[in-house]
Amino acid sequence: MKADHFPPTEAIVTVAGVSKTYASGFQALKNIDLTLRRGEIFALLGPNGAGKTTLIGIICGIVNPSSGTITADGHNIISDFRAARTKIGLVPQELATDAFESVWATVSFSRGLFGKPPNPAFLEKLLRGLSLWDKKDSKIVTLSGGMKRRVMIAKALSHEPRILFLDEPTAGVDVELRRDMWEMVRSLRESGVTIILTTHYIEEAEEMADRIGVISRGEIILVEDKAELMRKLGKKQLTLSLRAPLTAVPAALSAFQLEIADAGNQLVYTFDAKDDPERLSRLLHDLGESGIAFKDLQTSQSSLEDIFVSLVGARP
Ligand SMILES: Nc1ncnc2c1ncn2[C@@H]1O[C@H](COP(=O)(O)OP(=O)(O)OP(=O)(O)O)[C@@H](O)[C@H]1O
């Protein structure tokens, strides 16, 4: 089932005023407000120690918040823990399974833990969807790293949750497997599951996420649609390869942010992705007026990584 409307807007998880101070006295989260939307892929980004795992732990009911409330699909995670937890699947950072059990036993057992009646047909579909069906009788210890990770996902989905948390799903996974994982996560979303992932690979968020949240030092500093974020904060560059080298930017072009590169053979124009496109045609017109001819032009755009570094790096 595909989400009825896209982009999704209906709330599935609500975090309101959540703070966490550990017993050591360290305040890991400061008054977090966050709404996750049904059917989206939400990427939570932040530097090491920013509080991502703590926040996920709190939403999943594993870590107690010091204050604030969390609801998951309408259930309060503290006062209605069992009902809320049943809606949630969690794939933690560390691969934790009983290595000597078979894939089938692990996944069936996990479903039982949530009080769900056995449903071999559902588990078969799940394992087939994760390309694990032919490994169902294999002991986990015999599987490759990528397969073990998929077993963790199957385990987390065994009780048919509507919300799936993936904490660093592709850490240490090679590029090819990472792409397989992305495909799989997308197809989960198609089936109506809401996905929240944390990642250190920012290109993963750029590739996958509908929305991005950035957490830094225990505070959410930004939540935005990915496309909007890249449009608002992204920079673009236009590089012109000149027919004749320049020694300086002509005064007639001083209204534009231009720099000379490649020993005068290139002129580089940097602009905001959201700038008026008319400005670009004005630049090209003014270049012609100034007698500057070019033989080639290239544009490039800043990545989410550049944007992320500028956001988090600006906060010492
Ligand atoms: N049980 C604990 N007791 C005290 N401090 C803790 C505890 N667990 C985590 N912290 C601290 O809280 C902060 C946030 O940790 P958390 O694991 O949530 O960050 P993270 O964003 O997930 O980091 P990473 O990207 O490295 O996994 C860190 O400074 C960490 O040292």
| Eight-state DSSP code of residue 99 | T
Q: Is the pLDDT of residue 213 over 70?
A: yes
d(CA 174, CA 276): 40
Name residue, tokens 């993963």: 204
Would you place residue 103 in the very low, low, confident or very high pLDDT band (cuts 50, 70, 90)? Answer: very high
pLDDT of residue 314: 52
d(CA 284, CA 293): 10
Calculate how far, in angstroms, residue 256's C-alpha sits from the geometric centre of ligand 1: 45
Would you place residue 147 in the very low, low, confident or very high pLDDT band (cuts 50, 70, 90)? Answer: confident
Q: Is the pLDDT of residue 71 over 60?
A: yes
Which residue among 45, 54, 204 has the greatest number of ligand 1 atoms within 8 angstroms of its CB, and so is best to mutate? 54
Q: Is the pLDDT of residue 73 over 60?
A: yes
pLDDT of residue 3: 46
What's phi and psi for 125, nearest 5 deg? -60, -45
Which residue among 24, 26, 201 has the greatest number of ligand 1 atoms within 8 angstroms of its CB, and so is best to mutate? 26
Q: Is 168 within 8 Å of 160 (Cβ atoms)?
A: no
Which residue among 20, 52, 90, 312 has the greatest number of ligand 1 atoms within 8 angstroms of its CB, and so is best to mutate? 52
Instruction: Name residues contacting ligand 1 (CB within 6 A).
Output: 22, 24, 26, 28, 46, 48-54
For the question of whether the overall pTM of this predicted structure is more than 0.90, the answer is no
Calculate how far, in angstroms, residue 50's C-alpha sits from the geometric centre of ligand 1: 7
Q: Is the pLDDT of residue 177 over 90?
A: no
Three-state DSSP class for residue 195: strand
Give tens-digit pLDDT for 20-45.
Answer: 999 999 999 999 999 999 999 999 99
Between the alpha carbon of residue 303 and those of residues 115, 206, 273, 310, the distances in Å are 44, 8, 12, 11
| % of the chain residues with pLDDT over 90 | 58
Q: What is the mean pLDDT of residues 248-274?
A: 89
| % of the chain residues with pLDDT over 70 | 95
Ligand 1, atom 11, lies closest to the CA of 28
11-231 matches 235-302 in fold: no
The rounded mean pLDDT for the chain is 88
Ligand 1, atom 26, lies closest to the CA of 48
- Tell me if the bond preceding 7 is cis, omega within 30° of 0: yes
Ligand 1, atom 12, lies closest to the CA of 28
CATH fold label, 11-231: Rossmann fold (3.40.50)
* CA neighbor of 227 nearest in space, from 72, 4, 6: 6
The better pLDDT of the pair 254, 303 is held by 254
Give tens-digit pLDDT for 110-134.
Answer: 999 988 999 999 999 989 888 899 9
Strands 258-261 and 266-272: antiparallel
Q: Is the pLDDT of residue 70 over 90?
A: yes
Q: Is the pLDDT of residue 311 over 60?
A: yes
Calculate how far, in angstroms, residue 150's C-alpha sits from the geometric centre of ligand 1: 25
Calculate how far, in angstroms, residue 167's C-alpha sits from the geometric centre of ligand 1: 13
pLDDT of residue 1: 44
pLDDT of residue 209: 93
Please state the domain extents for the chain. Answer: 11-231, 235-302
Calculate how far, in angstroms, residue 43's C-alpha sits from the geometric centre of ligand 1: 18
Q: Is the pLDDT of residue 191 over 90?
A: no
Ligand 1, atom 23, lies closest to the CA of 49
Class of domain 235-302: alpha beta
User: According to the per-residue pLDDT averaged within each range, which of 21-25, 96-100, 129-133, 294-298 is highest?
Assistant: 21-25
Would you place residue 308 in the very low, low, confident or very high pLDDT band (cuts 50, 70, 90)? Answer: confident
Q: What is the mean pLDDT of residues 49-61?
A: 93
pLDDT of residue 109: 94
Q: What is the mean pLDDT of residues 8-20?
A: 91
Q: Is the pLDDT of residue 316 over 50?
A: no
